[in-house]
Each structure stands twice: as structure tokens, then as C-alpha cells.
Amino acid sequence: MANTRRAKSAEALGLIGDQSVVPVLKEMTKDENGNIVDASVAALAKLGDKTNVDAFIAGLDSSDPLVRKKACEVLAYVKETRAISKIKGLATHFDKTVKDAANMALAKMGDLESGPVIATLLLEKEPSLRETACKALGILETQNTFPS
């Protein structure tokens, strides 16, 4: 419970936009709890310090689906456009949690070219993936992205 509060606090510090919190966030990146580290790195990136973002880009290549999912979420949160091509490669991943996170990340990053790929999720048997498609396409606010 305390770790969840600390992670949420790190996230909030990033949203404040005050550079005076950077030293605190940098210290939090050394924490033993991965959620706190992830939230701190994302908050730093929001404040313009993207020195640790490359770790999340590398996470897209992990063999662990949970690492790939988290990497997609953080990279979308900080809108790291350098990762778009790698995230596109995960948009059709066999693991539904990775596929879900990748497609939502592409939408949150505003990648209009991904609209047709995201729209293919509407044809998935898994209801959660169809729901993701609806949400992601709504975020993109594009037209003519549905498969023929």
C-alpha cells in the first residue's frame, strides 16, 4: 500500500511541472520497488529529463510480456516518438496484454498511420481487444480507419 502511494506521488510530481522536484525524483529512481522506479522515470521524462527513457525503449524487446506492456504504457505517457516503430511491431503481438498496450500507446502518441492496424482489433474474438480498439480509435479521432 505504501509503495503504491509513493508511486502515485512520483507520478503527481511529474504532472506538477516544477523543476524543483527533479532531485527527489532522481533519488526515487534508485528505489527497490519497480513501480516506484517506473513512476519516477516517467515523471522525470514529463519534466524534460529523458535520460532513463532508453531503458523503457529497450524494454520493448524484453521476452517478458509484462515488461513490454509497462514499456508501452510509459513511452505513451511521455510521448516518446522514437519508440513508435518498435511499438508498431508489438501492435499484432500474440500476447493480448502486449497487443492491447501497444495499440493504446500508438493512439495516445497520436500516430495516425496506426489507425488501420488499430481498427483490425475490432475483428478480434477477445472483447477487451475490441474495447481497446474503440477507445484507441476515439483517441485518434480519425475517420476512414475501419477495415473494408
Every domain of the chain and the residues it spans: 1-51, 65-148
pLDDT digits (tens, 9 = 90+) for 33-78: 888 888 888 888 888 887 788 888 988 998 889 889 989 998 998 8
Considering the chain, what percentage of its residues have pLDDT values greater than 90? 49
Q: Which residue bears the cell 502515485?
A: 8
Enumerate residues 6+ apart whose C-beta is below 8 A from 108.
76, 77, 79, 139
Question: N- to C-terminal Cα distance for the chain?
Answer: 48
Find the angle CA(91)-CA(94)-CA(100) to the nearest 5 degrees: 45
In CATH terms, the fold of domain 65-148 is: Leucine-rich Repeat Variant (1.25.10)
d(CA 89, CA 76): 15
**pTM metric for this prediction:** 0.74
